[in-house]
């Protein structure tokens, strides 16, 4: 096998060639990273650069974790050992559930690249618990350097891991797989993608073929507002998707370990969504997999044009860290009671169910905290842009309080009795 110094030299040559081809892009001013984490963060020295972000879920309920090479500072300014520890620290919060990695390669330079030796050690440290639930690794804007690394690592990569790798040449391709609007994409990566598309056909910028929007079907359930669903379903307060999945999961899923952490077969989820949107009956018994309705419930919430908690609440949730611990439940109650009546009823219905799930946590391993990690980003998100890693903490805290202190938070403002699951 080629000696390590030779590999390092080859990597250096490859990166220098790519930098020479991209001099104009290299001179562009990088965008500012997301809001920095609290200085007390155990990995503040690494986290402040915004290299790693958690961007909600993909289209099938799997957590999205983003690594942006353009955020890497020069190597002398970053301890790569700390970077590895921070990556593991982040993944440790999600590896018990199915997750997706998105790697933005653009911006890796000879000045900021980790060594090939470091990459080998990093792969060796990611044991089975990290690799088992990784469903896909999207490598965005791959270059000859990436393909060279792939050939170097091929002998030590497992066959299963190799099948999880997917090259993505243009950002538009991600729309087929991910909730693109909530994906954290650095401005440098966006500019680079525009440049690639502009030169794709001899300098002419290709038009992105987007089908014209069509009005939703009267039976539509996914991707339409709560109000639309209510109007088209004879005034039903709880959307049929929610009532049917919750009812089934209460009967079959409360004692399932890791419920809401697992994904389901993508084609099955598409088929179920289609049935709902066409107004056809769905029998979850046919799928013999309790994770199907669990994923459908999360997907329904994530596909709402406006989150259940509304856009207006996002900033209020972000301010939770500034509220004293003893006052947080009261503050949650105030925020929730300020919701429109319909949103309040739907949220109460969902939280009542999740509270019930948490009561079985000794068996299903889904405590209020674990449920918050899964559902938080599906209940509230900003009107524009994505959720940064630092913004996840107050969202998860808020959601955990809703689940754990359900009776206190929702106790006084009573919706109709028939909506309690």
pLDDT at 318: 93
Shared domain check, 234 and 132:
no
The CATH number of the domain where 42 resides is what?
3.40.525.10
Same-domain check for residues 192 and 121: yes
Q: Is 263 within 8 Å of 298 (Cβ atoms)?
A: no
The predicted model scores a pTM of 0.71
3-state secondary structure of 332: helix
Identify whether 211 is part of a domain: no
Q: Are residues 37 and 185 in the same domain?
A: yes
Q: Are residues 250 and 169 in the same domain?
A: no
Evaluated on CA atoms 144, 62, 390, 95, the torsion sign reads: negative
* Cβ burial 197-218 (10 Å sphere, 16+ → b, else e): beeeeeeeeeeeeeeeeeebee
Do 61 and 106 have their domain in common? yes
Q: Going by C-beta distance under 8 Å and a sequence separation of 6 or more, which residues neighbour residue 59? A: 177, 178, 179, 269, 299
Residue 205 covered by a domain: no
Same domain, 183 and 283: no
Tell me the CATH number at 288.
Answer: 1.10.555.10
Residue ending a domain, among 182, 198, 214, is 198
DSSP assignments along 256-288, one per residue: -TTTTTS---HHHHHHHHHHHHTT----GGGGT
In a domain, 203, yes or no: no
Tell me, yes or no, whether 208 lies in a domain.
Answer: no
Q: Which pLDDT score is estimated for 364?
A: 94
If asked whether residues 368 and 243 sit together in one domain, one would say: yes
Which residue do the tokens 């110094």 mark? 5
Range of the structural domain that residue 234 is part of: 226-419
Residues 178, 259: one domain?
A: no
**Residue 334 structure tokens:** 């105030």
Instruction: Report the alpha-carbon distance of residue 175 to residue 357 in Å, rounded.
Output: 32
pLDDT, tens digit only, all 421 positions of the chain? 444 555 556 555 555 555 555 554 444 455 555 666 777 778 888 888 889 888 767 777 778 889 999 999 998 899 999 998 998 888 888 777 788 889 999 988 888 888 877 877 777 777 777 777 888 889 999 887 777 777 666 655 666 777 788 888 999 888 877 777 778 888 899 998 988 888 775 544 444 455 556 788 899 999 999 999 999 988 889 999 999 999 999 999 999 999 998 888 888 999 999 999 999 999 999 999 999 999 999 999 999 999 999 999 999 999 998 999 999 999 999 999 999 999 999 999 999 999 999 999 999 999 999 999 999 989 999 887 777 777 888 999 999 999 999 999 998 655 444 444 5
- Residue 217 falls inside a structural domain: no
- Residues facing 66 on adjacent strands: 53, 102
Q: In what order do the strands lie in the sheet with 99-104?
A: 52-57, 63-68, 99-104, 134-140, 165-168
- From 198, 215, 242, the end of a domain falls on 198
Instruction: With beta carbons less than 8 A apart as the criterion, state whether 18 and 141 touch.
Output: no
136 and 163 Cβ atoms separated by less than 8 Å: no
Query: Does residue 46 sit in the same domain as residue 156?
Result: yes
Q: Look at the chain and report how many structural domains it folds into.
A: 2
* 146 shares its domain with 276: no
Q: 101 - beta bridge partners?
A: 65, 137
Q: 7, 39, 60, 5: which is closest to 273 by C-alpha?
A: 60
What's the confidence (pLDDT) of residue 153? 66
Are 154 and 289 members of one domain?
no
User: Do 34 and 129 fall within a single domain?
Assistant: yes
The domain boundary residue, chosen from 148, 179, 198: 198
């Amino acid at each position: 096998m080629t000696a390590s110094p030779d590999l390092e030299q080859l990597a250096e040559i490859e990166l220098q060639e790519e930098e020479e081809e991209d001099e104009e892009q290299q001179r562009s001013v990088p965008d500012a990273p997301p809001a920095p984490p609290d200085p007390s963060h155990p990995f503040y020295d690494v986290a402040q650069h915004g290299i790693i972000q958690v961007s909600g879920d993909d289209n099938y309920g799997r957590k999205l974790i983003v690594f942006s090479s353009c955020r890497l500072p020069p190597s002398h300014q970053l301890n790569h050992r700390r970077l590895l520890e921070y990556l593991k620290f982040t993944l440790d919060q999600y590896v018990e559930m199915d997750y997706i990695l998105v790697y933005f390669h653009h911006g890796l330079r000879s000045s900021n690249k980790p060594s090939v030796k470091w990459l080998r050690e990093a792969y060796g440290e990611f044991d089975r618990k990290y690799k088992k639930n990784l469903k896909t690794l999207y490598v965005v804007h791959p270059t000859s350097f990436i393909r060279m690394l792939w050939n170097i690592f091929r002998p030590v990569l497992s066959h299963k891991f190799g099948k999880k790798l997917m090259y993505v040449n243009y950002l538009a391709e991600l729309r087929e797989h991910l909730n693109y609007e909530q994906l954290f994409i650095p401005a440098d990566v966006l500019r680079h993608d525009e440049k690639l598309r502009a030169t794709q056909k001899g300098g002419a910028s290709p038009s992105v073929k987007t089908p014209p929007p069509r009005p939703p079907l009267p039976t539509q359930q996914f991707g339409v507002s709560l109000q639309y669903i209510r109007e088209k379903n004879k005034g039903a307060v709880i959307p049929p998707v929610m009532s049917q999945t919750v009812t089934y999961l209460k009967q079959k899923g409360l004692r399932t370990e890791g419920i809401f952490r697992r994904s389901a077969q993508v084609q099955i989820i598409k088929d179920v969504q289609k049935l709902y949107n066409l107004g056809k009956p769905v029998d979850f018994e046919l799928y013999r997999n309790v994770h199907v309705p669990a994923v459908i419930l999360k997907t329904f919430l994530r596909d709402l044009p406006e989150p259940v908690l509304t856009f207006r609440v996002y900033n209020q949730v972000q301010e939770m860290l500034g509220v004293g611990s003893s006052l947080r439940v009261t503050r949650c109650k105030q925020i929730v009671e300020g919701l429109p009546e319909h949103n309040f009823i739907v949220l109460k219905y969902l939280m009542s169910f999740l509270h019930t799930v948490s009561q079985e946590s000794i068996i299903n391993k889904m405590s209020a905290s674990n449920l918050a990690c899964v559902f938080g980003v599906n209940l509230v998100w900003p009107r524009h842009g994505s959720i940064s890693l630092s913004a996840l903490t107050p969202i998860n805290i808020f959601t955990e309080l809703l689940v754990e202190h359900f009776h206190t938070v929702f106790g006084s403002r009573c919706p109709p009795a028939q909506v309690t699951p």
